[in-house]
């Protein structure tokens, strides 16, 4: 008699196959259990299916999906530059008539493009560092992405940005003009044929359209702008590449911080495209002269001239793409919260409070205060108080800045702002110091709200920026000002020009994909092609199959049958209907995920119960769906009061105030704190705070 077969353990599988994370292995096993083992599953089969996906005839309508160009190296040789043929990518994915094709047909019908009124392309370039950042820089790479400004709020979703190029930084450094030549070759290939101008024909079994577009924005941080536009910024005499009247001469007689002299937009004279191109042309003429004189002229102009740079392209000049002033858009995320202004201002303010005896040296009062605040469940893994352990505070003091990533600083900003308002400013303590940080927090709040505002106001935005610069000077922090303090003066101009400021948080999330493939790619010879192939096939797969990606309205995520407790609750309130489904998670119109237990703001039919406050507030209990209608079961809070001069409101939670709310009326989850009196203090999130 045979012994019964032992059940196989998943640990046995993990020990017998090449390494992958526990999460990845669990997901693989779950997928196989639900959908079965693929008929073909060898490594060669994976390669063949990738080739079939990316190199079929529909993906080559405007040429091969991957193009190469010859780039000139510093040593006089040539280096191949591999990049994606964006026109073929669009045509191929559209032809499949999947979710992307159907969505684009509908979207283009509502927002048509034409020769006279083309769509506006936006390009973003940045460096990423796959693998262990402490051990090697060999995988450090430049990434270039493209999208369209017409997408508006959809630009906050990473899958609406398309990867054009990934190239190792070490190879870019070998090129004449570096990243500027890379951008030049990509733009010459994309726009040089004038096909985007005359219209890209996209056809599928579901219909066809002709998409016209032009380059209208280069969105980058300071380092990328410096590399792409060949400007020297603070290493030259013109630390701001846009302002023609700001000069910084490093001599013994002029040691003042130049930024303290330009605290208003009216103080700045912004150079036009023609003026900057004329300066570039004068450098070209001087390049044949004595090298010492030429270097002095480059330093004075704040530019590094090269015949291979972006601005030297005759093709792009003829196409009117060489517009170094009107294409230039600062990335407010890097400017304000990625080793930015708010990181430094937070440190300066907290240190000032420490020096005046209002905070202990380890900032224990702040750490204890942050323990009382709760974040939305989407940020459940992030704890505010752990940012200010004794070890962390010591590292901040050593760096002279709050060393946090952009998302961490954004999350911290409102609680820290309220901490200063409620504990010090309201008591008349260190008012000038506290107002400096609060003013910059208001700048960030407005910038982060722009995508969600119906009519964002450039004058109001400029007023907030100038107010923040004045507050910084009044607090005695003038000498700490850096170029990042000046850049926000140009953001209202960008808002005026484009009526929006795209956020770069989705692009930081987008970077996770090339990082993932780059970390696992050990052969550097085929690195660029392997990573670009992996990134492109994954994105194409999502565009062809992920229907939820193109749902712009609020909707439930992962619906299931009703549980017994929820069914009983619905019946007790006479809300139950046969066929109901439920979910613990919903995605709001803004793109935010909201989960059961979150406290959120939502639209209210009447403001009488909130004393004129425009929104209601409550705790999300359940999300339900029936007959095509999606609703939220919310425990409605009783409005108590607003905290004057802050973004805080106080509410009272009562157990018998359950109500049904349409899912589209849910606005934003809030950061909140329960008080000893049973009240809940909620911090109004962007864009509600900017609209208030």
Q: Mind listing the pLDDT tens digit for each residue in 66-108?
A: 999 999 999 999 999 999 999 999 999 999 989 999 999 999 9
Rounded to whole angstroms, how far apart are CA atoms 491 and 485? 11
Q: What is the average pLDDT across 543-557?
A: 90
- Model confidence at 135, in pLDDT bands (50, 70, 90)? low
Residue 347's closest CA among 414, 383, 397, 421?
Answer: 397
SS (H, E, C) 357-406: CCCCCCCHHHHHHHCCCECCHHHCCCCCHHHHCHHHHHHHHHHCCCCCCH
Q: What is the pLDDT of residue 604?
A: 82
- Six-digit token string for 50: 């990738």
Q: What is the pLDDT of residue 179?
A: 97
Query: What is the pLDDT, as a whole number, of residue 440?
Result: 97
Mean pLDDT for the stretch of residues 163-186 = 96
Q: Is 100 helix (H, G, I), strand (E, B) or coil?
A: helix
**Least confident segment among 208-212, 246-250, 320-324, 604-608:** 604-608
My answer on whether omega of the bond before 687 falls inside 30° of 0, hence cis, is yes
Kindly tell me if the per-residue pLDDT of 284 is higher than 90: yes
Please tell me the predicted confidence (pLDDT) of residue 252: 41
Q: Please give the pLDDT value at position 119.
A: 97
- Low-confidence winner among 22-36, 241-255, 274-288, 507-521 (lowest mean pLDDT): 241-255
Pair type for strands 599-603 and 593-595? unpaired
Of all residues in the chain, the percent with pLDDT exceeding 70 is 96
Q: Give the residue extent of every domain in the chain.
A: 10-37, 58-230+309-331+504-548, 234-305, 335-498, 553-691
Query: What integer pLDDT is reported at residue 134 of this predicted model?
Result: 55
Please report which confidence band the pLDDT of residue 16 belongs to, taking 50, 70 and 90 as the band edges.
confident
What is the mean pLDDT of the segment spanning 219-243? 90
pLDDT at 2 over 50: no
Whether 471 and 425 have beta carbons less than 8 Å apart is answered as no
Q: Is the pLDDT of residue 378 over 90?
A: no
- Average pLDDT value for residue range 234-262: 79
The span from the CA of 60 to the CA of 66, in Å, is: 9
pLDDT of residue 4: 47
CB 637, CB 619: distance < 8 Å: yes
Q: What is the spatial distance between Cα 180 and Cα 474, in angstroms, rounded to a whole number?
A: 40
**Backbone dihedral region for residue 663 (phi beyond 0: left; psi -120 to 50: alpha; all else: beta):** alpha
Higher pLDDT pick, 238 / 313 = 313
Residue 297's pLDDT band, with cuts at 50, 70 and 90, is very high
pLDDT at 621: 94
Sign, Cα dihedral of 575, 581, 584, 587: negative
DSSP 589-621: TTS-EEETT-EEEEE-S-SGGGTT-SEEEEEEE
pLDDT of 611 reads 72
State pLDDT tens for residues 30-48: 889 988 989 888 889 888 9
Query: Which pLDDT value is given to residue 552?
Result: 84
The pLDDT of residue 586 is above 70: yes
Span 351-365, average pLDDT: 95
pLDDT for the residue numbered 250: 67
Closest CA to 242 of 279, 268, 216, 215: 268
| Mean confidence (pLDDT) of the chain | 91
**Closest listed residue to residue 126, CA positions, set 483, 447, 514, 450:** 514
* pLDDT tens string 552-574: 889 999 899 999 999 999 999 99
The reported pLDDT for the residue numbered 5 is: 52
Check residue 608 and give its pLDDT: 56
Question: Which CATH class for the 553-691 domain?
Answer: mainly beta
Task: Give mean pLDDT, residues 375-393.
Answer: 90
| pLDDT tens profile 402-448 | 999 999 999 999 999 999 999 999 999 999 999 999 999 999 999 99
């Amino acid at each position: 008699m045979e012994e019964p077969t032992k059940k196989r353990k998943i640990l046995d599988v993990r020990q017998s196959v090449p390494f992958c994370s526990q999460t990845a292995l669990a997901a693989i096993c779950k997928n196989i259990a639900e959908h079965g083992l693929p008929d073909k599953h060898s490594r060669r089969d994976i390669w063949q299916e990738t080739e079939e996906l990316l190199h079929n005839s529909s993906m080559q309508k405007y040429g091969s999906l991957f193009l190469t160009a010859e780039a000139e190296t510093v040593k006089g040789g040539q280096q191949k530059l591999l990049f994606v043929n964006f026109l073929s990518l669009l045509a191929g994915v559209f032809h499949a008539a999947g979710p992307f094709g159907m969505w684009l047909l509908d979207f283009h019908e509502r927002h048509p493009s034409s020769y006279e009124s083309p769509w506006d392309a936006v390009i973003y370039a940045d460096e990423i560092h796959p693998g262990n950042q402490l051990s090697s820089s060999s995988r450090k790479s430049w990434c270039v992405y493209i999208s369209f400004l017409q997408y508006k709020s959809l630009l906050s979703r990473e899958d609406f940005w398309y990867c054009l190029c990934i190239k190792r930084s070490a190879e870019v450094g070998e090129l004449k003009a570096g990243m500027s030549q890379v951008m030049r070759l990509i733009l010459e290939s994309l726009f040089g044929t004038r096909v985007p101008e005359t219209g890209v024909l996209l056809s599928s079994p579901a219909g066809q359209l002709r998409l016209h577009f032009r380059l209208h924005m280069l969105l980058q941080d300071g380092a990328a702008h410096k590399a792409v536009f060949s400007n020297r910024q603070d290493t030259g005499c013109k630390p701001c590449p846009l302002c023609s009247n700001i000069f910084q001469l490093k001599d013994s007689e002029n040691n003042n911080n130049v930024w303290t002299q330009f605290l208003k937009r009216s103080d700045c004279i912004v150079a036009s495209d023609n003026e900057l191109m004329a300066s570039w042309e004068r450098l070209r003429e001087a390049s044949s002269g004595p090298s010492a004189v030429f270097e002095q002229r480059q330093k004075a102009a704040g530019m590094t001239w090269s015949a291979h740079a972006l601005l030297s392209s005759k093709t792009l000049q003829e196409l009117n793409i060489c517009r170094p002033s009107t294409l230039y858009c600062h990335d407010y995320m890097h400017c304000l919260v990625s080793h930015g202004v708010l990181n430094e201002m937070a440190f300066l303010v907290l240190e000032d409070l420490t020096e005046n005896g209002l905070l202990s040296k380890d900032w224990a009062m702040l750490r204890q205060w942050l323990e009382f605040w709760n974040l939305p469940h989407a940020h459940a893994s992030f704890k505010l108080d752990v940012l200010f352990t004794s070890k962390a505070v010591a590292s901040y003091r050593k760096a002279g800045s709050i060393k946090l990533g952009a998302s961490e600083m954004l999350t911290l900003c409102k609680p820290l702002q309220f901490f200063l308002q409620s504990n010090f400013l309201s008591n008349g303590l260190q008012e000038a110091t506290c107002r400096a940080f609060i003013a910059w927090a208001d700048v960030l709040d407005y910038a982060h709200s722009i995508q969600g505002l119906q009519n964002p106001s450039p004058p109001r935005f400029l007023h907030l920026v100038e107010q923040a610069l004045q507050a910084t000077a009044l607090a005695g922090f003038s000498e700490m000002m850096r170029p990042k303090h000046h850049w926000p003066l140009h953001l209202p101009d960008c808002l005026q020009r484009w009526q929006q400021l795209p956020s770069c948080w989705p692009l930081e999330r987008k970077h996770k994909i090339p990082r993932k493939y780059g970390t696992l790619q050990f052969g550097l010879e085929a690195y660029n092609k392997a990573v670009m192939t992996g990134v492109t096939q994954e994105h194409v797969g999502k565009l062809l199959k992920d229907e939820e990606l193109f749902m712009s309205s609020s909707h439930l995520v992962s619906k299931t049958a009703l549980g017994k407790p929820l069914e009983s609750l619905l019946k007790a309130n006479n809300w139950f209907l046969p066929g109901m489904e439920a979910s613990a998670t919903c995605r709001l119109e803004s793109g935010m995920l909201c989960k059961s237990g979150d406290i959120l703001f939502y639209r209210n039919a009447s403001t009488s119960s909130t004393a004129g406050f425009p929104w209601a507030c409550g705790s999300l209990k359940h999300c339900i769906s029936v007959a095509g209608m999606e609703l939220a079961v919310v425990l409605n809070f009783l409005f108590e009061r607003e905290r004057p001069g802050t973004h805080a409101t106080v509410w009272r939670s009562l157990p018998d105030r359950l109500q049904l709310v349409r899912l589209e009326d849910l606005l934003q989850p809030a950061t909140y704190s329960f008080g000893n009196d049973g009240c809940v203090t909620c911090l109004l999130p962007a864009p509600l705070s900017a609209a208030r």
